[in-house]
Homo-oligomer: A and B are copies of this chain.
Amino acid sequence: MSRKKEETQGLKHNKKDFSEWYNELVQKAGLAEYAPVAGCMVIKPYGYAMWENIQAWFDMKIKATGHKNAYFPLFIPERFLKKEAKHFEGFMPEVAWVVEETEKGKERFALRPTSETIIYDSYSRWIRSWRDLPLLLNQWCNIVRWEQTATRLFLRTREFLWQEGHTAHTTEKEAEKEARMILDMYKELLETQLAIPVLAGEKTSKERFAGALRTYTLEALMPDGRALQMGTTHNLGQNFSKPFNIKFLDRDEKNRYVWQTSWGFSTRLIGALVMVHGDDKGLVLPPKLAPIQIVIIPIFTNKTRKQVLKEALKLKKELEKFLVELDDRKYTPGWKFNEWEMKGVPLRIEIGPKDIKKKQAVLVRRDNGIKKTIKQSKLEREVSKQLDDIQKSLLTKAKKFLTGSTVDAKNLAGLEKAINNKKMARTGWCGSQECEDSIQDKTAATIRLIPFKEKPKGKCMVCGSRAKHVVYVAKQY
């Protein structure tokens, strides 16, 4: 079988031309496209199916830990946003407004850039006693941030989809535990489902969520050396419960303000999936999130068509516990190979007259291109094994990249070199805002996180005084 690459197919850009490659791939693989409204995107069925898979996994996990879904309004009164000053400042520049003119005058409503304020207004009515706590809610919804910067599909759009969890607790300790538990859940989602390894840690106060006491983050490294924030959880302390007056009557009959968390990840994860695993031929999807896990391509001539299709259909039925598709369209096998490689389907099964005679089929892995001829009687077992192996291999490969792309930097010169070489730098930081600002001024990179378990040794890379923290520094998306 020849694999003729047709002119109209395939990617014009190689992954080396990273930004162009990404834009072309997201569209050619049918994940998303630019909408006619500047800054917005259309999530196409193939991209949306991945979001549904991510949703299903996470929804099951949060429900198993006592969280419930609800739905709060898209519209937020301006006065709510203003109640927490830092929060308002943080989101103000990118808020889209709907203006209503009534007899009382004009009123502005923000399209939710995030829902802390509108949700906590409800919480102030719902929470009365310690018996109402913990209150563990989540919502799946659209979010609007009217940014002026260039659009990148899945990564930066004026509207995107996400989940946002909002919890209220009787104690600070419990809120802290929740923020960390959800971060662990995010990590599990990313590593076991998306096959994307992440660094876990805390944000500096400069990079913290507007209004949070502490922000925890998971950062993944993209092939262009930039870090992508994959999900964050916030210990909000009482920063919102005080202005929103969310009090509960405690067991000792005293009124106290609740302790809160919020947390979210978005459709941006699909962008990460494309960047981390994709190659010059297209997407490479981890089997656990792939909308189609196996594609069967029948190889036939006019003469053998009927027989081969019959056999291919039989194979499809045998594999129906997987997400399997039979491509019986009237295109050449080569054209189909290209198409399904572009779409990143983990396994391809080829079957032709020779294979039928020998009761076999040819199995081809998308991630490494390895071909294997398998007896049909062993196909189901082999497919299952290969899918598991692909899932693991993708994570291993991405881990290797992450480790190999992280270098130690001892000073600003070393940091600059690392950033210029498209690496992430591990280094020491004294904890001062001045030194943090210097990093950004000199390198356009920022402190992405302070890792949880690494103890600082050595000096601050900027001022040379004793390092208080280990930090990871990279350019960001």
Contacts and interface: CB of A to CB of B under 8 A. Distances in A.
Interface residues of A, number: 46
Contacts of A68: 45, 48-49
A73 B35 contact: yes
Contacts of A189: none
Contacts of A122: 33, 35, 42
A45 B72 CA distance: 10
B45 A69 contact: yes
A77 interface: yes
Contacts of A75: 35, 37, 40, 158-159
Nearest to A119: B42
A97 interface: yes
Interface in A25-79: 33, 35-37, 40-45, 48-49, 51-52, 68-77
Which 4 residue pairs are nearest across A and B when measured between Cβ atoms?
A45-B68, A43-B71, A40-B73, A37-B75
A240 B319 CA distance: 41
Contacts of A77: 36-37
A118 to B, nearest CB: 7
A137 interface: yes
Interface centre among A48, A98, A125 (most CB of B within 10 A): A98
A47 to B, nearest CB: 8
Given A37-B76, A52-B69, A71-B161, 7 more contacts: A37-B75, A73-B159, A74-B142, A74-B144, A98-B98, A99-B99, A131-B329
15 contacts: A37-B76, A37-B77, A40-B73, A40-B75, A42-B73, A42-B122, A43-B72, A45-B68, A48-B69, A48-B71, A51-B71, A97-B98, A98-B111, A131-B329, A141-B142
A10 B146 CA distance: 46
A63 to B, nearest CB: 10
A36 B141 contact: no
Contacts of A401: none
Nearest to A68: B45
- Stoichiometry, as copies per complex, reads 2
A42 B72 contact: yes
Contacts of A69: 45, 48-49, 52
A48 B44 CA distance: 26
Nearest to A79: B36
A213 interface: no
Contacts of A109: 37
A96 interface: yes
Interface centre among A35, A37, A52 (most CB of B within 10 A): A37
Contacts of A36: 77, 80, 118, 121
A158 B73 CA distance: 9
Given A49-B69, A69-B49, A111-B98, A159 B74 contact: yes
A48 B140 CA distance: 11
A73 to B, nearest CB: 4
A153 to B, nearest CB: 12
Interface string A329-342: 10000000000000
A253 to B, nearest CB: 16
A70 B79 CA distance: 34
Interface string A133-151: 0000100011010100000
A294 B80 CA distance: 39
Contacts of A44: 70
